[in-house]
Chain A
């Protein structure tokens, strides 16, 4: 049991670490396109790690399956949303950030 607790703790803390990095990316990245990366990758990996951490402590199979369902839904949703926002930004003519062009508001 102590090993499972340890694994759960590691998974949960790693997941929160990815959430923190994702939020840091949202704050520090210079334009819309790069911010999409921070959101759709780091945050969903963090959510996945938290889901797996909670999975170890799930009390029944349906509850565990629901956790996995939530994560897969979040994955599909953020992949779609990230693509759509980037495409809309490109169509509106938002210039991608280049090194040395400043930015970082």
Chain B
């Protein structure tokens, strides 16, 4: 079963790297934030697989904290950064 877990972890890593393309291309900050949330979900899956693969139960706690922090980041973004009055919609390369 080890090779299967390794294969799964590798594929999850590939989806993470592909998610970077969306962060690069934008075009709005919300798209970048959504890609960051994708990192949260995929990262949790990757950490769970690695916990099983490397027999490190502590990684499950890391996954738990990552799931919490990912949503906190999105909440802070919506509440603080992406307000109606702020005008930082398009920045960086589009």
A57 touching B52 in the complex, CB below 8 Å, given contacts A16-B11, A22-B38:
yes
Tell me the residues in window 53-105 of chain A with beta carbons closer than 8 Å to chain B beta carbons.
54, 57, 63, 66-67, 69-70, 73-74, 77-78, 80-81, 84-85, 87-89, 91-92, 94, 105
**Tally of contacts, chain A with chain B, CB under 8 A:** 132
Contact assessment for A54 and B34 in the assembled complex, using a CB-CB cutoff below 8 Å = no
What's the minimum C-beta distance from B9 to chain A, rounded to whole angstroms? 9
What's the minimum C-beta distance from B40 to chain A, rounded to whole angstroms? 8
Contact assessment for A84 and B41 in the assembled complex, using a CB-CB cutoff below 8 Å = no
A26 touching B22 in the complex, CB below 8 Å, given contacts A12-B8, A50-B8, A94-B28:
yes
What's the minimum C-beta distance from B1 to chain A, rounded to whole angstroms? 6
Contact code string A2-30 (vs B, CB < 8 Å = 1, else 0): 00010011001101100110111011000
Q: Please classify how large the interface on chain A is, using the bins under 10, 10 to 19, 20 to 34, 35 or more.
A: 35 or more
| B68 surroundings in chain A (CB, below 8 A) | 73, 77
Which of B1, B8, B34 is in CB contact (< 8 Å) with A5?
Answer: B1
Binding site for B on A (CB under 8 A): 5, 8-9, 12-13, 15-16, 19-20, 22-24, 26-27, 32, 35-36, 39, 43-44, 46-47, 50-51, 54, 57, 63, 66-67, 69-70, 73-74, 77-78, 80-81, 84-85, 87-89, 91-92, 94, 105
A38 to B19, CA, bound (A): 12
Q: What's the dominant secondary structure at chain A's contact region?
A: helix
The interface size of chain B toward A, counting residues with CB under 8 Å, comes to: 46
Q: Which A-B residue pairs are the 6 nearest by beta carbons?
A: A77-B71, A81-B74, A23-B15, A43-B41, A84-B78, A16-B11
The listed residue with most A CB atoms (<10 A of its CB), out of B22, B28, B34, B57, is B34
Tell me the residues in window 20-66 of chain B with beta carbons closer than 8 Å to chain A beta carbons.
21-22, 25-28, 30-31, 33-35, 37-38, 40-42, 44-45, 48-49, 52, 57, 60, 63-64
